[in-house]
Chains A and B, each alone.
Chain A
């Protein structure tokens, strides 16, 4: 179910603007990797290149390779739609489809991939996905209610359930807790611990405690100044990054000292 990600010499452009420059990175299967760094340093942009979601923005393009189990995502004959079915994504703000019920939300991706699913299979999948997202007990009595009626943390877990229902290899999370309160954040972090047994997880976070709590490895991105491209400064085990980083900028950032 989970796959290894290798990134080689990746540059990301928005039109002519070079947003992220020269990233080399290897992510092990069944691990949690955190991307940290100041705002605008390109970590979210880079995360989106891992499932080609950056292509939604007009003019965005990449140079270099992203290999998932050896297959380059940017081969000319690779369909971005199929990439996104393998590499799921959870966004910063919870975004369940407002016109769908909880159950329909969970099944949204499956209905796209596999149009016909028997009712009992669908019910099983809804239960399994919601259990997987630690949401089943809270919503099992109101699966036909709109997903937008849930609390923010529940909505975010619904989005995770929706992502894992299509059985991806990798789950990307773009600041999944930044719009949530501490209790909901804790629920998501516990969930990440469980999900990592099955999936490769990459998470962008502004919360350094969160990075140190949930991730196995951490990548620190930085930007030299406005208008300059973001760079991967240091990539190592999370304990190393937070206790004994080899680059001065990383140490300044994780310890709260800038510049």
Chain B
């Protein structure tokens, strides 16, 4: 078969060359940008890794004891947001894709997309001005009545600006993207499979359970991970809402709260100087790595779904 090895060359037309050239340029720009950001972070971070309290005044001892609580707070706040946002966004997406009348569904979908356009500063203001005062009495009630449960133990925060409030704000912020992805995935469920379930005598909820959710499972996972990525990196809203003390604690309702990496950078950067700047940039590198890993996991999960694409 390999006797005729002369490759046939397609005729090159100017339009093809220009288009392929610009596509290659655009595609490589994304790599260049990413590499530039990574390079900046790494170079600027190196001094921080070996710094001590004498070099950088914001470090308690070493860099790792500084970034540890921040990393914990970042992941804990994002996890809280996700626990709240995943079920709600699946519910909204199912309502839009399978329950709502068509006209209501398109209006709702539009409103959810609109929610994504609200700037995070506005969410922050809403968190401080509306949400925190509103939930504070609920927190007080929780501490009084279910305080035996470790997560809800007291003393209650007087302002309501706790890690749970930050989690709620984050949940509202990641809701639109997750809902949008879930909705798209649910809408792509092959009609054939939905009809197969219905013809077996499934109710609508049973049809969703047998056909829609299994088909959309990996889509839900990738939506959740994308939401997680956004929650991990969210800066402004958390910086405004959370009253942080830098402790590592799972308690949700007290005034002792861990900060998050992004919020900490935003709050500390204006007054930072010398090696302190490098320390903050290094925490940014840690955040970059965490988001990168999260995205890699999402990619991996999405790629696993290929054999279950339902295209049979």
Contact = CB atoms under 8 A, between A and B. Distances in A.
B201 A109 contact: yes
B266 to A, nearest CB: 43
Size category, A interface: 20 to 34
B192 A99 contact: no
Contacts of B21: none
Interface in A82-101: 82, 84-85, 88-89, 91, 93-100
B122 to A, nearest CB: 38
B230 interface: no
Contact of A81 (B201, B210, B310): B201
A81 B193 CA distance: 16
Contact of B102 (A58, A96, A98): A58
A30 B211 CA distance: 31
A56 B195 contact: yes
B198 A95 contact: no
B192 A93 contact: yes
A97 B216 CA distance: 13
Given A58-B102, A100-B214, A155-B312, A95 B200 contact: no
B190 interface: yes
Nearest to B312: A148
Contacts of B193: 95, 97-98
A113 interface: yes
Contact of B210 (A58, A91, A97): A97
A233 interface: no
Contacts of A166: 200-201
B81 to A, nearest CB: 28
B206 interface: yes
A2 interface: no
Contact of A97 (B199, B214, B217): B214
Interface of B: 102, 190, 192-203, 206, 210-211, 214-215, 217, 307-310, 312
5 contacts: A53-B199, A84-B199, A112-B210, A148-B312, A162-B200
Interface of A: 51, 53, 56, 58, 81-82, 84-85, 88-89, 91, 93-100, 108-109, 112-113, 146, 148, 155, 159, 162-163, 166
